Amino acid sequence: MIKQLSLAKAFAVLGVLLSCLLASMPLMAKEKVTLQLKWFHQFQFAGYYAAKEKGFFAEEGLDVEIRERDPNQTPSEAVLSGSADFGIADTSLVLHRLQGKPLVVLAAIFQHSPLALMTLKESGIISPLELKGKRVMFQRNVDDAALTATFSEFGLKHDDIKHIPHNFKDDALTK
């Protein structure tokens, strides 16, 4: 009987010690966050994939889901709606802030915009000024800020060009 009582006390003490030990350990649950890319999965986002693969996000307590472009909404819209925690966006953020939308820029990855306007050589267009009255394909609400700045520098407005919604096809320029 005494042996059983001592064994019960030992288990009780062990249980209390184990409870204290487990309670003092930090929780290992990672915070789930979503990163909305502005394009499809490809090399330009290699840094994010590498950080996930090498465990850098996990070391900071983050479980990051990297989502490719959603054709139905911009990364900024995804963040504003709550369907993403972070978004890879572009200069359109400037326009969103001017509209009073509660977005915050965390980092500027590029020092200069990678946006490029292309024309066929036979068009003879060598300056943005020569785009007046021409069809220009771009994404509204994505490329607007950079194009607005470029057009403004040459005395153009968005109404001076014929906007064609981007169709993301390789042969769009030749048709």
pLDDT per residue rounded down to tens, the chain (175 residues): 555 556 556 555 555 555 555 554 455 668 999 999 998 999 999 999 999 999 999 999 999 999 998 888 889 999 999 999 999 988 778 888 889 999 998 888 877 777 888 899 999 999 999 999 999 988 776 667 788 888 899 999 889 999 988 887 878 777 7
Q: Give the number of other Cβ atoms within 10 Å of residue 127's Cβ.
A: 7
126 Cβ contact partners less than 8 Å away, ≥ 6 residues apart: none
pLDDT of amino acid 3: 58
> Cα(37)–Cα(89) distance, rounded to whole angstroms?
8
Query: Under CATH, what is the fold of the domain 121-169?
Result: D-Maltodextrin-Binding Protein; domain 2 (3.40.190)
Query: Among residues 96, 37, 97, 44, which one has the least CA distance to residue 67?
Result: 37
Q: Residue type for 107, please? A: A
Domain ranges across the chain: 31-89, 121-169
Pull the structure tokens for residue 112: 């200069």
pTM, two decimal places? 0.67
